[in-house]
Amino acid sequence: MKVYSVKQYQPHFKSVWNAFVSNSKNATFLFHRDFMEYHQERFEDFSLMIFKREKLVALLPANRVGDEVYSHQGLTYGGLILSKNIRFENVLQSYEILLKFLYEQHIKSLYIKEIPSIYHHIPAEEIAYLNFIMSAQLIRRDTLSVIDNQNRLKFSGSRLEGIKRAKKYQLRIEEDGDFEIFWNEILIPNLLKKHNANPVHSLDDILYLKNTFPENIKQFNAYHAGQIVAGATIFETENVAHCQYISGNDDKNRLGSLDGLHDYLINTVYVKKRYFDFGTSNENDGKNINKGLQFWKEGFGARTQTQDFLRIDPQNYNALNAILK
């Protein structure tokens, strides 16, 4: 009997999958099947489960495009999800059997969008080392702007001035859960005007996800004279408050609406959360950074965390054999 085996995810595994995600050392609610499947019609799911004998030890949330597998293109980050107590040797063996399985399925490339370490519950970077052994190709590196609440930096003068304006104009800032007004009056018009694009999540998508994950997805809006002027959609995990969407109307600089809103989020709502993640300011597949956006985020004391995008050739799985001596 083989010690390790790989099975492709099937719906009857849903409860087992979700229980594993809830107790892993590097997963967030994004890997819950109800989150992954809200847009399932857009992807050919190819999620994999690695077992040691009959015990589930790792997951790969993934989708397939021809002879390529991605650590799910519908998610912000991904890769191998590991059990809390797993040791390095078991990770090594799990990864080797996974890559061998992909090779036998005639998969030419595995693409991984790494989970930034701020989202790990305990150290979980075994795969980063194994990808070095595999000569994984770095195809992209994004930057995230992150506040570490255990090592806070002071707000800049320009951010403090914006916060003063928000107080002067008596903005009302609150979590009110009104996604509709933010999507329809602020977010969608701004994205169309600036980028000729729509939000990654439609209004129906975000309402479904909010209903499914009410403790993880929050909407905070800022109002002036009874009218919405800015908003932020937060994806909240154990260690991180992540800004999924940030947007304000044309008066945001005059009113200080985005500065006031984020002062409230950082210093009141999420002051005890380990990290506040503004997300990326990258453009052009990571090759450029929006200077003004980066400057604004750093004004709150955010500093740079990186996220790597890798290509792995499964046929090289035998390279993992020689690690342990």
For residue 248, the model assigns a pLDDT of 97
Q: Determine contact, residues 284/310, Cβ cutoff 8 Å.
A: no
Q: Determine contact, residues 92/323, Cβ cutoff 8 Å.
A: yes
CATH numbers and ranges of domains, the chain: 4-141+308-322 (3.40.630.30), 151-273 (3.40.630.30)
Query: What SS3 class is residue 76?
Result: coil
Q: Both tokens of residue 217?
A: 């997805």
Please indicate, yes or no, whether the overall pTM of this predicted structure exceeds 0.85: yes
Q: Determine contact, residues 83/23, Cβ cutoff 8 Å.
A: yes
pLDDT over threshold 90, residue 325: no
92 against 176, higher pLDDT: 92
pLDDT one-digit tens code per residue, 92-142: 999 999 999 999 999 999 999 999 999 999 999 999 999 999 999 999 999
Q: How far is the C-alpha of 215 from the C-alpha of 236, rounded, in Å?
A: 8
pLDDT over threshold 60, residue 1: no
pLDDT one-digit tens code per residue, 39-48: 889 999 999 9
Query: What SS3 class is residue 289?
Result: strand
